[in-house]
Amino acid sequence: MDSPKLSKSPIPSASASASASISSSSSPVQESPFSNYISSLSPIKHDKAPHVAQGFVGLSSPPLVFTSPRINTLGRPQSSSVKMSQKGVGDKKIINESCILERSVTESQEGLVTDIKNEDNKDDVAVQLGSSSECVDEYLADPVETDCAKSAYSVKLKLKQSNNVLQSSVNGLLDLKNIKFGRKNNVGREVDAAQFLSGRSEESIERKLTSDEKLLKIEDEQGSAQGISDGFQKFDSDRFDLSSKEKECKNFGPQKDGHGDGCSNFLQQLPGSLPGVQSYEGFAKNIGGDADAPVHSMTHEASELQRSMSRRCLQFGEAQPEATAACSISTNRANNIISSTSLATNSETESLSSSRLDLSAKSRTRQLVNLSQLAMNMSPQCYGKSSLTVLKPSGIGLHLNSIVNAISMGQGGTASMKVAQAIKSTSTTSCQSTENIDNGSDAFEKVSTPQGALEQKVFTIAGSASESLFAEESVEFHMTPNTKRKFSSEDGDRNDILSSGPLMCFYRKKLSNNTDGDCCKRCNCKKTKCLKLYCDCFAAGIYCAEPCSCQGCFNRPEYEETVLETRKQIESRNPLAFAPKIVQPVTEFPLSNREDGNRKTPSSARHKRGCNCKRSMCLKKYCECYQANVGCSIGCRCEGCKNVYGKEEDYCVTKEMVNRSGEISESRVAAKPKKEIFHSELCDPYHLTPLTPSVQCSDHGKNASISRLFSRRCLPSPESDLTVLSYAKSPRSPRTSDSNDILLETSKGNLDIDSFCEGISYNNAVALADEFHCTPLPNHPSVIIGSPSSKARELTSLSRVQLDPRSRSLTPGGSLHWHSSPIMPMSPLNDNKKLQGLDSADGGLYDILEDDMPEILKDTSMPIKPVKAGSPNGKRVSPPHNLHQLGSSSSGPLRSGRKFILKAVPSFPPLTPCIDAKGSSNQSRNNFQENRSND
């Protein structure tokens, strides 16, 4: 990843100072007012903590990042506070720079609603550096600040469609004021802006952490109150500016008006903003359907949400209209993707609504706002401390964190799923807000320009949005994996961003947090000067810090250039050297909704390259897969692997078995249970679960055929203890799965994964899997992906290919392809979901998978053959003895199952099934063999 480069380029000069500040990664955080809070947050907590909280925590975590230097914090946090105070004062400068208008028109509603915001960034603007990096930083930072400050300061104007812009603006302002006041009164809380500003960050964070809606509401209210007060103060002064801006906005108006919903149209034009807005609107509408009275207010709020989002964008645009262009597209894309997906999917929105139906639309909006605020708060804490704080990362990180957290949470238990989803959606919205900001900036720029230009811009944005989807996937993948290092990004930009410092740290922490607290781990390099991949810090893209015991360390901000150069060199050798080693699968859809709440599915994160363990059996931390809580996969060349999901499943199963009966010993003994399980489960469709551990076994696709069979058939029911064990056992699954789920959901749209999975049914699951494998996949994403992987792998058995759904997921487009392809995706998904749902998201896997995919596709078309003996990894590949039987048996059902799947999930991305099948199949096969031998 080029992250270093990016970081560098953006903030060349700042690097030194930034690096200095960053160098003591811990120090900045500690120093920051929130540092204590952040420090208190442990990675472990993240996992356990509410999604929101985690997300935030994660944000705070990445003090040491290469990127951090790039981003100039410029005392963001301080600036924010200052801004806040200034806002209260109502500086003219602020007025001049800050005023931004957003215009959203809701047909149903009276007319045009204009949100005018004053940006707080005036100071920032003045401070803004010409460098793109700064712009980016600010851009990023702005979102946070904007979120916090905006909510507080933004002034909303409700404009009737009056010809006179000025009048309309004024009227709108008045209306908004009234509205807000009404809100306040309704809320019954008047918040002192100063207090809010001073104490808000912590409070908001805590509240968010608690993820209590009430708290969120309160904050929102407070923020709104402040915003109102502030807005009023500024309002008068800003009016003129607003009017001018409104004019600009009007340019958009025609387009908007052209469509039923001016706002929606506008938002649609802005890829990032649209989804969120639409979702919100839909949400509001839904709510309205429930209660008419609230509807109006709801719509109002919805519009407000939209506004807020748009505002953010606008603010950004205003603050740094140009910056937007420079502003990292990749980041924006990523954010957009995330937000878009989450938002786009009605399911999530619905989930939110369902979870929060009680809550008024306000609360939701507020939540969003709060989230954004949290992000803001977090960012300052994390980055703000140092002058160099990286705003960008914070924003991004926040989103990611929030998502990840949400995901992890969701996976944790079905019961919490809804909540998690809600959180996700909220988080996504926050993300969107960020994106929107970016988009908004773009849009904003365009706004000023003639409509034609605007349209073009919008179009461009849309295109970028589409692209962002890919980025998003990659991002999510990166995020999801628990592994410390992982941040693989397929695309250079994305990789850069992701891999680059703050994000990297963030991700890592996130990942690592889930399980261990490894995030705090530091290197102990003695000879490499922390400039080689031996150094975990260096490999993770972060600077060494105090905790490190390294000697002669050059991985410090002071040596940024050296570090970057070294990184470049390493990357030149291996472009993916700094990519996340572990990729998280996209799938695991089923997890969330299972009746049991047992989502057992393990996460299917995978190690990109796979381990090469010889003696540790992949059961010790020597094994990267194991260390990353990832099951060994096809890519692994390990010997005697017992790790994994796949194996782990066995392992887990065995443990379970042992626990239950106490008869079976740990380790492979499980094999036996597996068999039993397989048979029983095979027979019992109900047991089929997407992620059965058994499936994932560590054969790594060597024994494709066998694995396949197993995977298909062995899928343990979600309810089954095995699944539960595996799930409980491995922390990993939860994390990855969540992210994946999100992606899937988003991609799907409103599709209900659970229902889908169920619909697919365990009955057909096996058959589907078989069929899927057997049937050619013309559209198989894997093909598209086609990467340069080793051909040996390609040659490897079909089973592998079939098993590896991840390849599909691997490529950013993979999921898309799947989605696009009616047939393939569905079956795979089913498989994935039911089997594991692992890999679609696996970035690391992508490489391998991608390579394999093409052949796989070909192979898949072919009937299930005994897989080639040789595994891609060269691991032992024994012909699947049982495969034939299994395959034969399964084949029958497959066809029917496939049809079914197609119907049920046309748009779903296929994911894990193949992969899981592979890995699991191999291991399962091995296990079987072993068991046999044992027997």
Residue 527 found at the interface with DNA (CB under 7 A): yes
User: Judged by CB under 7 A, which of 189, 259, 285, 532 binds DNA?
Assistant: 532
Nearer residue to DNA within complex by CB, 296 or 521:
521
Nearer residue to DNA within complex by CB, 156 or 522:
522
831 alpha-carbon distance from chain centroid: 22
Nearer residue to DNA within complex by CB, 225 or 613:
613
Residue 546 found at the interface with DNA (CB under 7 A): no
Site for DNA in 746-805 (CB under 7 A): 790
Q: Is 551 helix (H, G, I), strand (E, B) or coil?
A: coil
Site mask for DNA (CB under 7 A), range 280-299, x = bound: --------------------
Residue 638 Cβ, how far from DNA at the closest point, in Å?
Answer: 7
Site mask for DNA (CB under 7 A), range 552-571, x = bound: ------------------x-
Residue 561 Cβ, how far from DNA at the closest point, in Å?
Answer: 18
Residue 453 found at the interface with DNA (CB under 7 A): no
Q: Which of 129-137, 142-150, 422-430, 621-629 is the region at the interface with DNA (rule: CB under 7 A)?
A: 621-629
User: Judged by CB under 7 A, which of 287, 535, 630, 845 binds DNA?
Assistant: 535
Site mask for DNA (CB under 7 A), range 892-911, x = bound: --------------------
User: Judged by CB under 7 A, which of 206, 622, 749, 861 binds DNA?
Assistant: 622
Nearer residue to DNA within complex by CB, 578 or 908:
578
Residue 554 Cβ, how far from DNA at the closest point, in Å?
Answer: 11
Residue 574 found at the interface with DNA (CB under 7 A): yes
| Residue 575 DSSP class | T
The residues facing 607 across adjacent strands are 582
Nearer residue to DNA within complex by CB, 346 or 482:
482
Residue 633 found at the interface with DNA (CB under 7 A): no
Cβ atoms of residues 374 and 23 within 8 Å: no
* Beta-carbon-side half-sphere exposure of residue 517 (alpha carbons within 13 Å): 7
Nearer residue to DNA within complex by CB, 100 or 582:
582
User: Cα angle at 223 between 217 and 224, to 5 degrees?
Assistant: 90
Which residue type is seen at 213?
E
How far apart are the C-alpha atoms of 927 and 933, rounded to whole Å? 9
Residue 613 found at the interface with DNA (CB under 7 A): yes
Nearer residue to DNA within complex by CB, 371 or 853:
853
How far apart are the C-alpha atoms of 774 and 898, rounded to whole Å? 11
Please work out the total of residues on this chain that contact DNA, with binding judged by CB under 7 A. Answer: 39
In this structure, the strands spanning 606-607 and 582-583 are antiparallel
Site mask for DNA (CB under 7 A), range 482-521, x = bound: ------------------------------------x--x
Nearer residue to DNA within complex by CB, 183 or 609:
609
Instruction: Please state, as a whole number, how many other Cβ atoms lie within 10 Å of the Cβ of residue 733.
Output: 39
Residue 526 found at the interface with DNA (CB under 7 A): yes
Q: Which of 70-78, 217-225, 318-326, 529-537 is the region at the interface with DNA (rule: CB under 7 A)?
A: 529-537
Residue 528 found at the interface with DNA (CB under 7 A): yes
Nearer residue to DNA within complex by CB, 93 or 614:
614
User: Judged by CB under 7 A, which of 54, 474, 627, 779 binds DNA?
Assistant: 627
Q: Which of 500-508, 573-581, 593-601, 768-776 is the region at the interface with DNA (rule: CB under 7 A)?
A: 573-581
Q: Is 607 helix (H, G, I), strand (E, B) or coil?
A: strand
Cβ atoms of residues 98 and 118 within 8 Å: yes
Residue 416 Cβ, how far from DNA at the closest point, in Å?
Answer: 30
Q: Which of 373-381, 382-390, 505-513, 535-543 is the region at the interface with DNA (rule: CB under 7 A)?
A: 535-543
Site for DNA in 833-872 (CB under 7 A): none
How big is the chain by its Cα radius of gyration, in Å?
Answer: 26
* Beta-carbon-side half-sphere exposure of residue 500 (alpha carbons within 13 Å): 33
How far apart are the C-alpha atoms of 22 and 541, rounded to whole Å? 13
Nearer residue to DNA within complex by CB, 309 or 636:
636
Q: Which of 140-148, 287-295, 618-626, 816-824 is the region at the interface with DNA (rule: CB under 7 A)?
A: 618-626
How far apart are the C-alpha atoms of 825 and 815, rounded to whole Å? 8
| Residue 686 DSSP class | G
How far apart are the C-alpha atoms of 560 and 571, rounded to whole Å? 16
Whole-number Cα distances in Å, 755 to 145, 343, 594: 40, 20, 9
Residue 611 found at the interface with DNA (CB under 7 A): yes
| Residue 71 DSSP class | S
Nearer residue to DNA within complex by CB, 550 or 722:
550
Joined together, the tokens standing for residue 455 give 């349209």
Residue 609 found at the interface with DNA (CB under 7 A): yes
Q: Which of 413-421, 437-445, 607-615, 697-705 is the region at the interface with DNA (rule: CB under 7 A)?
A: 607-615
Whole-number Cα distances in Å, 278 to 435, 454, 790: 15, 20, 44
**729: closest CA among 465, 578, 514?**
514
Which residue type is seen at 491?
D
User: Judged by CB under 7 A, which of 451, 534, 558, 750 binds DNA?
Assistant: 534
Residue 527 Cβ, how far from DNA at the closest point, in Å?
Answer: 4
User: Judged by CB under 7 A, which of 256, 424, 494, 581 binds DNA?
Assistant: 581
Q: Which of 192-200, 329-337, 528-536, 905-913 is the region at the interface with DNA (rule: CB under 7 A)?
A: 528-536
Q: Please name the residues in contact with 463: beta carbons below 8 A apart, sequence gap of 6 or more.
A: none
The residues facing 157 across adjacent strands are 114
Residue 624 found at the interface with DNA (CB under 7 A): yes
Residue 335 Cβ, how far from DNA at the closest point, in Å?
Answer: 29
**878: closest CA among 926, 915, 846, 839?**
926
How far apart are the C-alpha atoms of 86 and 230, rounded to whole Å? 10
Q: Which of 30-38, 51-59, 125-133, 615-623 is the region at the interface with DNA (rule: CB under 7 A)?
A: 615-623
Nearer residue to DNA within complex by CB, 242 or 539:
539
Q: Is 395 helix (H, G, I), strand (E, B) or coil?
A: helix
Angle, helices 361-379/193-210, rounded to nearest 10 degrees: 100
Residue 539 found at the interface with DNA (CB under 7 A): yes
* Beta-carbon-side half-sphere exposure of residue 475 (alpha carbons within 13 Å): 38
* Beta-carbon-side half-sphere exposure of residue 860 (alpha carbons within 13 Å): 34
Q: Please name the residues in contact with 832: beta carbons below 8 A apart, sequence gap of 6 or more.
A: 585, 586, 587, 588, 589, 690, 805, 838, 839, 840, 910, 911, 912, 913, 914, 915, 916
Nearer residue to DNA within complex by CB, 539 or 810:
539
Residue 573 found at the interface with DNA (CB under 7 A): yes
Q: Please name the residues in contact with 594: beta carbons below 8 A apart, sequence gap of 6 or more.
A: 414, 600, 718, 719, 754
Residue 533 found at the interface with DNA (CB under 7 A): yes
Cβ atoms of residues 382 and 68 within 8 Å: no
Joined together, the tokens standing for residue 541 give 């893209």
Residue 612 found at the interface with DNA (CB under 7 A): yes
What is the contact surface with DNA in residues (CB under 7 A)? 518, 521-529, 532-536, 539, 550, 570, 573-574, 577, 581, 609, 611-618, 620-624, 627, 638, 790
